[in-house]
Amino acid sequence: MAGTGLAKADPFPLLSEAAIPVRLPQNVLLIGIANAGPRLVAVGEHGVIIYSDDNGQSWHQAEVPVRVTLTCIAFATPEIGWAAGDYGVVLHTQDGGLTWQTQITGTQVNQLMLADATQFATANPTADSAQRALRRANIFMGAGPDKPFLSIIATSPQSAEIFGAYRMTILTSDAGKTWADGSLQVGDPVSHNLYDAAWADGALYIAGESGTVLRSTDGGKNFTLLPAPSGTTLFGVLDAGGGAVLAYGVAGALFRSTDNGQSWSPVNIAVQSNLTSGLVLKSGNILLASETGGVYLSTDHGASFSAVASQPMGIFGLAQAANGDIVFIGTSGVRAVPLSSLN
């Protein structure tokens, strides 16, 4: 049969099209921010990644090979970092965020998951968990690369672990040259969305949908499900210091544990909007922020919080600049303010 002469359309063009240059990139919707040494680097919609070398006062757009929304970013060193987001895309930088390269997308992530589930089912043919893993992997394959990554842990220049929707988890130990599926080692049989991960007292915690909290004591290789603080979805987890861990999320939900996540106590923060981001300051004090611009400060390892100066935008990320200023990102882009102005 003669060919039609028509080129086959790329089903996912946003994964192969570079981010569009933006005249004022610091004003786009931004979702994640990280420190790369003294540099600040933030990610957001349409593949935009921006960086600042003057404590958040001016910003420049990085070279990015994709146009999908990016949700998270982390650096292992001032030069080496990863960013990730929609369609299961993972980007890598070796120059502090100035330029980025695609390492893997959701298509390859789904293939890794299916291969891992098939191997597990072959080794455990009668196990219900193996059949569930195989069904889950085939559902992912059928749906295509439609699920986002939501959080990154960059442990070293060679090692990173990335978490996302429906328990999607991948990890690398060779700087991203190869990736492995880690979802079977995350002990959540319901496959909740995993929104955030953080180190606390040598353990790695994950917070997610419907009050999901998991903990790893072997460097992120295996995660055990902890007692849920409540059924409320959690967007963040952080090390509060003094042996305490905080988990926060929907409608002002805030919980504190002082026994490695075995039990949780509610913390009254007097806010009804979603708590979307948190930051441990260089002083050890803690800031939490909400999707309506509320900002809350703790000086006692998260046992209590008080409202400080709110910001005129929904906040999705926080960072502390080299000069001590607080940099907020969110619905209106970037806003840098002196720490003293929040008191």
pLDDT tens digits, residue range 194-209? 999 999 999 999 999 9
User: How much is the average pLDDT of 84-93?
Assistant: 98
Q: How far apart are CA 118 and CA 224, in angstroms?
A: 22
Residues 246-277: tens digit of each pLDDT: 999 999 999 999 999 999 999 999 899 999 99
**Sheet hosting strand 203-208, strand order edge to edge:** 194-200, 203-208, 213-216, 224-225
Task: For domain 106-342, give its CATH number from 2.130.10.10, 3.40.50.700, 3.40.50.300, 2.60.120.10.
Answer: 2.130.10.10
- Kindly state the average pLDDT of the residues 79-105: 98
For residue 5, pLDDT beyond 80 = no
Return the domain boundaries, the chain: 106-342
Q: What is the pLDDT of residues 14-34, one digit of tens each?
A: 999 999 999 999 999 999 999
105's torsion region: left (phi>0), alpha (psi -120 to 50) or beta?
beta
- Percentage of residues of the chain with pLDDT beyond 90: 95
Gap between the Cα atoms of 290 and 252, Å rounded = 8
Q: How far apart are CA 145 and CA 42, in angstroms?
A: 24
pLDDT tens string 98-143: 999 999 999 999 999 999 999 999 999 999 999 999 999 999 999 9
Biggest CA pair distance of the chain? 75
147 with 169: CB under 8 angstroms? no
Nearest to 110 by CA among 169, 67, 162, 163: 169
| Average pLDDT for 199-220 | 97
Helical pair 106-123 and 128-143, crossing angle rounded to 10 deg: 160
Three-state DSSP state, 325? coil
Q: State the average pLDDT over residues 183-192.
A: 96
- Matching residue, tokens 């979307």: 276
pTM: 0.95
Q: What is the pLDDT of residue 270?
A: 87
